[in-house]
Structure 1
């Protein structure tokens, strides 16, 4: 068996897959901005608005504040989606279409969607009574896919009505369907199947830690703030349009060396660039399975040759992981 010893050089700005490696750096920005302006500032100068992965990171934040403030924006915000029933014709990975009017939906503290006579969408108080549009998933022609209700209802009651008699409240997939609804609506707004009930971090990462205090958000707003003086320390929802200080975070570039013992039979040329590239691809897949992002870069560094000990016992391949 021919054996060669190599070192992999891992260049990583987002090494999420080994928690002992990953040390997110937080920065407190005292200048008050709206949530959207704060996010843009963080993306320009750091990585993004602050994401919190665990209780330890949460407890660090108050110590970074150098002034008397009660609330500080984080990267958590409400996301909107469509009402989906069991009979819905939604396809996984389907391209999203949006037609929000300017400033929506983060400018409002309402969490149900309506469409107006201009064809634009609005965040509307769910308890208001509006007419509504249902759709039938079995019909593909936009001209007969939608139907208008016969009276006004709250959003929730309209959803129940549509699910009982059709597929669901109207779901709009493209400009053509939106135009069909616009013709149907005429002037007064009607309910469609949009709702804002989920929350996500601004950086797009899949993070399960959301330290709400109390246990779930209210309906105050669509953005989250750290309530600095709360006990226990936690997060509440807030009006995105209000101007507050905020936390940004950055991921410092890390260089990590990982030793890897390679074994191959005599038919494999371990100096062949194609073979080495194939091995790198395999390692990338393994790291991806462990949660590494696309920002992780791999390259080879060969150690100085050493005289091989023929009496040395074969070594089992080691699992490739990041190490400090």
Structure 2
């Protein structure tokens, strides 16, 4: 039996659930170099992890403690984005691949903040107060021809949503090209509402916000002030407000803490097996990924092989196999 010693070096900010309370606290940086929100995000991604995302009051206090001098406002990583309006009856699955069919530049027009489907099947950002016909969908149906229904008349987006939720699941949520083509046929050349809204908020790193200390009541309606969140540093208590993404402000970045963990394992194989064959090494890699996933390490994990230099052997010593090292990320 051939024996190969493997070591797994864990270099990640993602840990099993039992470790998250002590290890997931982020490290923040204040950048006193005014930039527009998009440029600030690129700066953070190039030099850190991303624009700052906060999870609790303790995080807010850390951000405030980084400021020296008179800085009234600074960008955070929260921004207004497009999303489907979902209900408890929706058949949406977490992690489901997203389908988008925007017309050129339309998804940037969140100040209009409701989605419609045009004659050619492309999506448009349309003022929610406009009266259009609309399409509802029934989450219990799977075939596009049965899943969607055309509304009886023209209504604004919110009234159309109320109608659909009272009789079906909601305004149409489009999951793929076939469903989009079905809506296009039903519309018969007219523009119709779908259940897409530009009023949702998300963190720049993709996380959904669970802690949003808006003051005093919440963000303004889309387009009234802006689509990017700022931390108002001269407010008591500390508060967030929505601001203009094009305004140039200082900003906060974050770094996920890193921790090294070295795991060792020994594998045995048939003497005729080539442990260094690409398909064998690929199988071992997938097995290690599965084991890590079973232990709760499920995000941001990348594996690669690294071979330690072979030691020189003395004539009287038996030559041994070199140690292999698996590292990530």
After TM superposition, is the score higher than 0.5?
yes
Q: What is the aligned partner in structure 2 of residue 317 from structure 1?
A: none
For residues 96-175 of structure 1, the aligned pairs below 5 Å read 96-137=98-139, 139-143=141-145, 145-175=147-177
SS at match of 1:122: strand
Deviations along 1:145-171, one digit per CA (max 9) or x if unpaired, are 434333321212111222334443122
Q: What is the aligned partner in structure 2 of residue 240 from structure 1?
A: 245
Maintained 8 Å contact 2:51/2:76: yes
Instruction: State whether structure 2 residue 230 is matched by structure 1 residue 225.
Output: yes
- Measure how far apart 1:50 and its partner are: 0.7
In 2, the alpha carbon distance for the partners of 1:114 and 1:222 equals 20
The answer for unaligned runs of 5 or more in structure 1 is 1-6, 259-269, 298-324
For residues 1-324 of structure 1, the aligned pairs below 5 Å read 10-14=10-14, 17-22=19-24, 24-65=26-67, 68-85=70-87, 88-91=90-93, 93-137=95-139, 139-143=141-145, 145-185=147-187, 189-205=191-207, 208-219=210-221, 220-255=225-260, 272-273=266-267, 284=292, 288=296, 293-295=299-301
In 1, the alpha carbon distance for the partners of 2:31 and 2:108 equals 21
In 2, the alpha carbon distance for the partners of 1:200 and 1:207 equals 6
Number of matched residues? 280
- Measure how far apart 1:174 and its partner are: 1.1
Deviations along 1:34-71, one digit per CA (max 9) or x if unpaired, are 33333233212211111112322212323434675433
In 2, the alpha carbon distance for the partners of 1:83 and 1:136 equals 14
- Measure how far apart 1:196 and its partner are: 4.2
Q: 1:57 to 1:287 in 2, by over 3 A?
A: farther
Maintained 8 Å contact 2:24/2:257: no
- Measure how far apart 1:222 and its partner are: 3.2
Maintained 8 Å contact 2:81/2:110: no
In 1, the alpha carbon distance for the partners of 2:290 and 2:173 equals 41
In 2, the alpha carbon distance for the partners of 1:233 and 1:194 equals 32
SS at match of 1:194: strand
Q: What is the aligned partner in structure 1 of residue 319 from structure 2?
A: none
Q: 1:186 to 1:8 in 2, by over 3 A?
A: closer
Q: 1:12 to 1:86 in 2, by over 3 A?
A: closer
The answer for unaligned runs of 5 or more in structure 2 is 1-6, 269-284, 304-329
- Measure how far apart 1:97 and its partner are: 0.9
Q: 1:13 to 1:189 in 2, by over 3 A?
A: same
Maintained 8 Å contact 2:103/2:123: yes
In 2, the alpha carbon distance for the partners of 1:37 and 1:74 equals 12
In 2, the alpha carbon distance for the partners of 1:166 and 1:25 equals 46
